[in-house]
Amino acid sequence: MQPRAGIFWSAGTTISGTVQRAASPTVGITDGANSYVSGFAVLDGQPSPGVCRRIAAALLTFDAPPGNPLAEANLAGWNSSTLTLSWSLNDGAARQIHYLLMGGSDLSAKALSFLTTTTLGSFPITGVGFRPDVIVSIYAAQANTGLPSYSSAAHPHLSVAAAGVEWTLGLNVQSMFSNRYLVPSALYITQTGAAQLDARLASLDSDGFTFNVVRSAAPARIMTLALAGPGLAAGLATTPPVGTQVTAGLLFSPQAVLLATTFAPSSTTPVTDARISIGAATSTTSAIMAMRDLSGVIPTSTTSLDGTGSLLTDPEATPPSTARLQMFSSDGFALEWTGSATAPISFGYLAIGVGDAGALDGGSPDAGAPDAGAGMHDGGEPSPSRQLHVGCGCTASPAELGLALISVLVARTRRRTAGSGLPASPGLTEPRHQR
């Protein structure tokens, strides 16, 4: 598979599946040529909050207050067998990194950045080169306009928008409070009250997209990954906190899904405590990050988690509130929710599915590798597949860069002990149709 787009994320922890004190989450996007990242850091056990944030034209950044990047990487290149990162800074910590790679001859991708306007009304963005079906955006707050840019508070955002649906996940960790929000807007920034930025997707155009700016107190730097192709859908759903939740009506069979939640109902009113989770899954694997900061607590109380096996999790709840992928269907997906939560939970999603029929080459998976299609799709004939990979459990250090690459059909872990080239599993070069 030749990747055409990628989304990377991490809570910055060093041991998979283990809750750690403090947090240094990062989310990056790339089209192979251009990459952008939004990261932040929150210290734990401090007499006053130690926080910072950073945006940059890079793929990964791990920060530490008062705003010094500890490690930063860009995409040096990728092809059907290798993903290569170039580290401009690295402190040697073996942090967990997760990613979703997308390919296929029918997928178009463009990563770009722009400044929002303070003028209300129509705000077109051009230069994409095609009509997007979905746009994925990352950004901080209005104080961050340059690339790179630092500020002394944590205020990251992840937004997804498509025709008729849009959502933004955001959080604040400021001097003496923290909160989070999940809002039905294409772009949204707030602290405690009225929105500082509120923009809705007005249209998807032949060379880009247009926002309707409802409120804008100051310009903000937005970094966006525009995607076009069959089998792309976004949504915002609300589910009971326990039991099975079915999302249907996508008009295609998903092969991967990316989710984000605040573990609260969607609302423009921020909820106390910064508490989020982001994850992605195919039918064979999943990769998640989660973080929580308690508002107004001294000494500060911040935890984070990277792991596999579920799509969303709040590991600090007792028992943990967790969503796992139950199945993909012919037009959607089902999640199984467990845990101690009692109020409804909203989540935003990006579903990715069928690409061009016959786009995948034949081949044999590794011995013992799971068949991702088993029991997951209707019918007995091979279905067309978008070429997808979810990776998880990566480590990042100057001397060692290990990696678990999980394809739609083939799972294998390989490790390289020198350099920054990331060896790919045979699933990258020998994918097969799902059954």
| Residue pLDDT, tens place only, 65-107 | 887 899 999 999 998 878 889 999 999 899 999 999 999 889 9
Q: What is the mean pLDDT of residues 357-379?
A: 25
Q: Which residue has the tokens 């949504």?
A: 235
User: What is the token pair recorded at 297?
Assistant: 């607590």
Q: How many domains does the chain have?
A: 1
Residue 435 lies in a domain: no
Coil, helix or strand at residue 109: strand
Residue 47 lies in a domain: yes
Please say if the pLDDT value at position 381 is more than 50.
no
Looking at the chain, the whole-number percentage of residues with pLDDT higher than 90 is 68
Report the alpha-carbon distance of residue 65 to residue 151 in Å, rounded.
10
Residue 21 lies in a domain: yes
Q: How confident is the model at residue 389 (pLDDT cuts 50, 70, 90)?
A: low
| Residue pLDDT, tens place only, 103-126 | 988 999 999 999 999 999 999 999
Cβ count near 379 (within 10 Å): 9
Residue 354 has a pLDDT of: 67
Closest CA to 384 of 194, 37, 105: 105
Three-class HEC string of 210-243: EEEEEEECCCCEEEEEEEECCCEEEEEEEECCCE
Average pLDDT, the chain: 82
End-to-end CA distance of the chain: 19
User: What is the token pair recorded at 101?
Assistant: 């790679």
Report the alpha-carbon distance of residue 22 to residue 303 in Å, rounded.
5
Q: What is the mean pLDDT of residues 43-53?
A: 93
The residue segments making up the domain with residue 400 are 3-428
Q: How confident is the model at residue 40 (pLDDT cuts 50, 70, 90)?
A: very high
Residue 100 lies in a domain: yes
Q: How confident is the model at residue 366 (pLDDT cuts 50, 70, 90)?
A: very low
CA distances in angstroms from 196 to 31, 143, 254, 373, listed in the order given: 29, 11, 35, 45
User: What is the token pair recorded at 240?
Assistant: 């009971």
Coil, helix or strand at residue 427: helix
Residue 432 has a pLDDT of: 25
pTM for the structure as a whole: 0.85
Residue 433 lies in a domain: no
| Residue pLDDT, tens place only, 266-306 | 999 999 999 999 999 998 989 999 999 999 999 999 999 99
Question: Residue 277: exposed, middle, or buried by beta-carbon count in 10 A (0-12, 13-18, 19+)?
Answer: buried
